[in-house]
Amino acid sequence: MLPTQSVSQSKIIASTTMDLYCFFAGIGLYVCAVWLYENLRTPVLLTLNSVKHFIFRTKLSQRYGKWAVITGASDGIGKGYAHYLAQKGMAVVLVARNEAKLNKVAAEIKAKYGVDTKVVVADFSKGQTVFPHLEKALVPLDVGILVNNVGVTHGSPKYVDEVSQDDLWGLINVNIGAATLLSNILIPSMKRRHRGLIVNVSSMASIAPSSCLATYAASKSYMTSFSIALREELRPFGVEVQTVRPGFVHTNMTDFIVTGMKDKIDKKYLVRVDNFMAYAGCTIGKTDLTCGHWSHGLQTAGLYLLPEFVRLSPVLLMELEKDTQIT
């Protein structure tokens, strides 16, 4: 081989290597840019809108309307939202299936904040039959904020084929039907007033499918997709939509997870409702996507770095198999 040919081939190889390096470096930069956008967008919006709020100091009731409707308001995160919004001066409509608990929460809020309260009893697991009653109770009100929070899961991790069909339909009706139909009922009046806010409480499970909680995680994926699409639908009409994707918050619904924890350190640092609302409440009207609590934001950022097969955590499946072997 002549020296000139050898030099020429070396140049071609070097050029090709550099092209490949630039190509993969470009892909890496693009992926990093997307990851940074997804994870820094919320804190940037929160900071900018917090400054704006500090300057103008508009009350939520002035910005959106007098009443806030909260589903699943008798316990947990729903009760937390009810207290937070009442503290901010909004009248609250408390919706859940347990009338005694609702009346107790309403009395607490009335005594503590002095705002108007209204109790509406509705069992969303019954499906379409509950909505005429809700429409009659809610449409006449100046509803400024709708918090679609109500949700259910199995009492413990189960295989899909071991869950009764009644429980499956109940989960679908509560986790999917409630938010969809209530939005359908209340959006027309919000569009007419050219103001309003819908807060859809989804879950971190929407980006991390969970073995043995398959239907719950799938319902939360629906909620996230529905919420983000609805945000774009309503943007031209001046109606805002916020998607909330919390991780584990210690509520009645997640009690089976807390009970099963053997590590006391994990229990100590599990986010409680009042701690969650201290952060999630501050994001209302300031960002359209949040995990609610800062620690859940870090967890979500970490999940986005992992491939799907890693996010498909086998932990619940392993625990279920262990229980099955013991019993």
Domain boundaries, the chain: 59-324
Split at pLDDT 50, 70, 90, the class of 303 is confident
The whole-number average pLDDT for the span 240-254 is 81
Instruction: Please state which of the ranges 167-171, 220-224, 318-322 shows the lowest mean pLDDT.
Output: 318-322
Q: Secondary structure of 34-90 in the HEC alphabet?
A: HHHHHHHHHHHHHHHHHHHHHHHCCCHHHHCCCEEEEECCCCHHHHHHHHHHHHCCC
Q: Judge whether residue 327 has pLDDT over 50.
A: no
What is the Cα–Cα distance from 76 to 52, expressed in whole angstroms?
A: 30
Query: Three-state secondary structure along the chain?
Result: CCHHHHHHHHHHHHHHHHHHHHHHHHHHHHHHHHHHHHHHHHHHHHHHHHHHHHHHCCCHHHHCCCEEEEECCCCHHHHHHHHHHHHCCCEEEEEECCHHHHHHHHHHHHHHHCCCEEEEECCHHHHHHHHHHHHHHHCCCCEEEEEECCCCCCCCCCCHHHCCHHHHHHHHHHHHHHHHHHHHHHHHHHHHHCCCEEEEECCHHHHCCCCCCHHHHHHHHHHHHHHHHHHHHHHHHCCEEEEECCCCEECCCCHHHHHCCCCHHHHHHCEEHHHHHHHHHHHCCCCCEECCCHHHHHHHHHHCCCCHHHHCCCHHHHHHHHHHHHC
Q: Alpha-carbon distance 31 to 11, whole Å?
A: 30
Q: What is the pLDDT of residues 89-118, one digit of tens each?
A: 999 999 999 999 999 999 999 999 999 999
Mean pLDDT of 220-233: 97
The pLDDT assigned to 252 comes to: 62
pLDDT band at residue 4, thresholds of 50, 70 and 90?
A: low
* Average pLDDT score over residue span 209-232: 93
Cβ distance 45 to 286 under 8 Å? yes
Average pLDDT over residues 252-266: 54
φ, ψ of residue 177 to 5 degrees: the values are -65, -40
List, in sequence order, every residue forming a beta bridge with 71; answer none if it has no partner.
Answer: 95
Using an 8 Å Cβ cutoff, are 272 and 76 in contact?
Answer: no
Residue 321 pLDDT > 80, yes or no?
Answer: no
Least confident of 91-100, 109-118, 138-147, 149-158: 149-158
Tokens 């879950």, located at residue: 203
Mean pLDDT over each residue of the chain, to the nearest integer: 85
- What does the pLDDT read at residue 316? 44
pLDDT at 307: 76
Residue 54's pLDDT is what? 77
pLDDT greater at residue 310 or residue 319: 310
pLDDT at 245: 92
Structure token digits, residue 58: 């508009």
What are φ and ψ of residue 160, in 5° steps? Answer: -55, -40
- Whether residue 239 contacts residue 197, with contact meaning beta carbons closer than 8 Å, is answered with yes
pLDDT (average), residues 142-162? 91
Q: What are the catalytic residues?
A: 216
Is the predicted pLDDT of residue 32 greater than 50, yes or no?
yes
Do 293 and 275 touch, CB atoms closer than 8 A?
yes
In CATH terms, the superfamily for domain 59-324 is NAD(P)-binding Rossmann-like Domain (3.40.50.720)
Of 196 and 251, the one with more pLDDT: 196
pLDDT at 2 over 70: no
Confidence label for 263 from pLDDT (cuts 50, 70 and 90):
low
Binned at pLDDT 50, 70 and 90, residue 180 comes out as very high
More confident residue, 126 or 157: 126
What is the per-residue pLDDT for 3? 57
